[in-house]
Each structure stands twice: as structure tokens, then as C-alpha cells.
Structure 1
Amino acid sequence: MPVYVVTGANRGLGLEFARQISQSKENILVACHRSSSSDLSDLKQAAANNASNTHTLVCDTGDLKSIQAFIDSAKKTLEGKKIDFLINNAGINSVPDQTSLSIGPEDLAEQMRVNVLGPAKTTEFLLAADLLSPKVRIVNMTSGLGSMTQSLTINPRKCATYSISKAAVNSLTVQQSGNLREKLGEGCVVICMDPGWVKTRMGGVGAVLEPEVSIGGMLKCIRGLGEADNGKFFGYTGKEVPW
């Protein structure tokens, strides 16, 4: 039974990941949410088809102590099983109106802490706890706004701090794709993915893509990844995205 871990699973893209992963009772899902006070009603409904194999655990990816506590809980929950798919989905876009000429230092630091350090440390701690399969597929959720090539075509520029953090996620992915193979062998694959402009709370006004389409496409791509795909940047259609 493949084991999936999804961060930020109680809303937005993460919620749809949980719903689609739970359609098969052959899957084990560890669905992470930010705090013990999070509303899990939508998540429980989304995973109802496979409730017995769904585990909801707290993991605030902006808090190192929370990530470490999650690792301890995951180890107990999985009882010796290894993670086959790690989807580092949790992220924020808290100041979309800022431009490169109005960056708030604390705002940028917060974006980097949650969006970059979060997936970096989640992956690092899971590796240290020996919870990653040698053939694990790790997906760092990024954005087309993190693509230098695509950002050059956007006029006016937007979401500066978020875009910078997602460009950093792309660089993190490249680094991890080499470092993890040194630890786990040639079978592991690390990629970053652009889900497209999806109709979620973060997507906001103007989003054009239904969540089920984006997540369905990403899961198809993720499940079909081969060793040669390590370190690449994909869109939800499975097509490579330019850096």
C-alpha cells in the first residue's frame, strides 16, 4: 500500500489531493494540518472513502518544533512503513500586493520561512528519521511565478515576495535532487510542480482552473515519474516548465 504525506491538507490544493488520494482504499494518507485548532470537517469528508487509512497529524511547516513533533507522530503512525510520496504543499501568499519596490523585510522573511525552509526541513527531518522510501517521489509545490522565464512575460509584475520564495523553492528542489540521491540512491526522485492558477482561496479572483483538474493532472504526473525526471520542473499537465 503506497504511503502519501500531504502538508497543508485541510484546505485548497491539499484538500483536493486528500480527496483524490482517498479514492483508492489501497492508499495510506497522512494528511497534515497547521494546528490542533484547524477545522478538519472538510478534510474528514474528503477522505471519508478511505477513512481507515487516513491519518490527520499536526504539522506547521513554519515552525521547526512543530515539524519535529510531526516526525515523531508520523513514525508512530506509520509503524515501520516508508513514505512513497511526499507532497510539500503547504505555503502562503500573505502580501500579494507587494512589488519589488515595496518589499517588507519581515514579510519576505515569513514567505521564505514557510515556503522554503518548511519543505526543506520537513524533508530533512523525515530523511533523518528513516521514513523515506528509497524510491520516494518528493514534490515541492511551486508556481509559474517562480519561473524566471514565465515571470518575464507578466506585465505588470505581481506577488513579488511570493514569487521570490517560489523561485527559491525551485532552487531547493535542484539541491535536494542531488543530496537525496547521495543518501537514498538513484531510485528517489525530487521535482517541483506548478499547479496552475487554481480556484482556491489563495488563487483568488480570476483563477481559471478547477482543483480537481489540477490535482488530477499532478497525481498522474507524480505517479508516472521515472528516475530521469529527478530535479525537473513540471506543470500540472505533466509538461516541463522553463526555469
Structure 2
Amino acid sequence: MMANASKNMLITGANRGIGLALTQIYLNAGWQVDACCRQPVGAVTLNDLAAKYDSLRIHALDVTDHAAIDALSQLLSDKHYDIILNNAGYYGPKGYGFGHVDMDEWRKVLEVNTIAPLKIAEAFYSQLLAAKGTFAAISSKVGSIAENTSGGGYIYRSSKAALNSVVKSLSNDLSPQGIIAVALHPGWVQTEMGGPNALISTEESAHGLYTVLEGLEAKDSGRFLNYQGEEIPW
């Protein structure tokens, strides 16, 4: 299947869940997709897609390895990215309460969910600027401070609240150069992270996110939106 060479995307965490569903949607829409995951050898469905679409390239990337991010940017230095989609995420432990926070896990979650997206923004800045593209980060409603009425979840909540702050700063810094930066809540999705009791499928979430991303305008930079395009309070 031939691709529309005028549209390019880089996506992290593309081997399963929402990342895989988004990769499929953008390939179907004719985009060139550079899909990243930690272990491409084990990404069976993603490799199946690569056999079907000549517009898909798969790259091994651990988003906590900053030297690897820089090396990938160098490899892809000639690309103009219309969208860089930071989807890779890590939830960390569940079921703990106050007094039982695993500090080492907290650092690990922050590395993946908060620090890595900013590192990617810095490393791929020139490719994003070349297309005046969109920097999108998959956040979470649980990162909303205004909507935190139940407490707990210190590790994941704080990582997404911090990510939202990163996105807001990126918007302020990069919007004058024509780059849009947004935080997106995908909904409670039936993934390995979301669990079987989640409310929506990966496909429903991904289609919603795709629609939101397609409709973004310059004035939307710095917003926190859900997969239905609705504003979420910070």
C-alpha cells in the first residue's frame, strides 16, 4: 500500500494498546510512520503491519535512554514531522496507599512519563520545526489536579501532572514558531495498563485521538483535551 509522503509521524510505544491502534490508523490514512518500541523483535503485530505497509519503519527505542533518542534523531535528521506522538508510558505499582510509596518505582515512572517526552521534544525539535508540526503527549485525566478528589495514586498522578506542565511550557516556548503542543487524555481504555474493566476499546480511543489531532489549530496549543475533544481542567 503506497503512502502519502507529505505526512510524517513519529510515535513511541507503538507495539501494543493505543500506540499500535494509532499506528494502524495513521498508516491507513496514508502517513509515513516511524514507530518506536523497546523490543521490535517481540512486536509481532507491528512487524505484520511493516510487511503490509511500505510506509512503516520500526525503530528500537528505550525512551529512558537519552543517548539512544539523540542517535535516532540523527538517523532521522532529514525527516519533517507533522506529528510527534509521545505514547510510551509506564504506570508503576498499583494498590498501594499513603506510607507505602515505592520511591525507586516513582523515579522510573517519572523517567518514562515526564522526562522522556521533553527529551524527545528537544532532540527532534528541528524535524518538528521543519513541518511546523504538532507535539502531542498522551497524558491522563488522573493528572488533573482540579479533578483529584479521591487522593492516592501518587506515582502515576504526579507523573502526568508534571507532563502536563511540560506540555504547557512547550506550548509557550514553541507556539510562536508554529509548533502546536497538546496533552491528550485517551479515556479509560482496555489495555494492559487500563485493565479489562475499562470503558472503551483501544480502537475507539485511537479514532477519537486521531480526530482531535486532525482538527487542531494554532489556538489549541497548550490545551489538555480528551479523546472526544473536550477540555480537561489542569
Aligned to 1:120: 118
Aligned to 2:31: 27
**Helix, strand or coil: the match of 1:207?**
coil
Aligned to 2:108: 110
Gaps of 5+ in 2: 1-5
CA distance in 1, matches of 2:49, 2:22: 9
Gaps of 5+ in 1: none
Q: Percent identity?
A: 29
CA distance in 2, matches of 1:160, 1:97: 11
Give, in angstroms, the shift of residue 242 of structure 1: 1.0
Kept after mapping to 2: 8 A contact 1:97/1:158: no
Q: Deviations over 1:38-77 (max 9, x none)?
A: 412111334555x1111101221111122122212222xx
The AA in structure 1 aligned to 2:148 is: S
- Correspondence list, 1:10-159, <5 A: 10-24=15-29, 26-35=30-39, 38-46=41-49, 49=52, 51-75=53-77, 80-127=78-125, 130-132=126-128, 133-152=130-149, 154=150, 157-159=151-153
Q: Deviations over 1:15-50 (max 9, x none)?
A: 1111111112x31000001135x412111334555x
Give, in angstroms, the shift of residue 158 of structure 1: 4.4
The AA in structure 2 aligned to 1:140 is: A
Q: Deviations over 1:61-113 (max 9, x none)?
A: 111122122212222xxxx3300001000010121223343222211111111
Give the TM-score, by structure 2 length.
Answer: 0.92
**Helix, strand or coil: the match of 1:113?**
helix
The AA in structure 1 aligned to 2:103 is: P
Please say if 1:212 is aligned against 2:203: yes
The alignment covers a number of residue pairs equal to 228
**Helix, strand or coil: the match of 2:229?**
coil
Kept after mapping to 2: 8 A contact 1:83/1:136: yes
**Helix, strand or coil: the match of 1:150?**
coil
The AA in structure 2 aligned to 1:180 is: L
Aligned to 1:222: 213
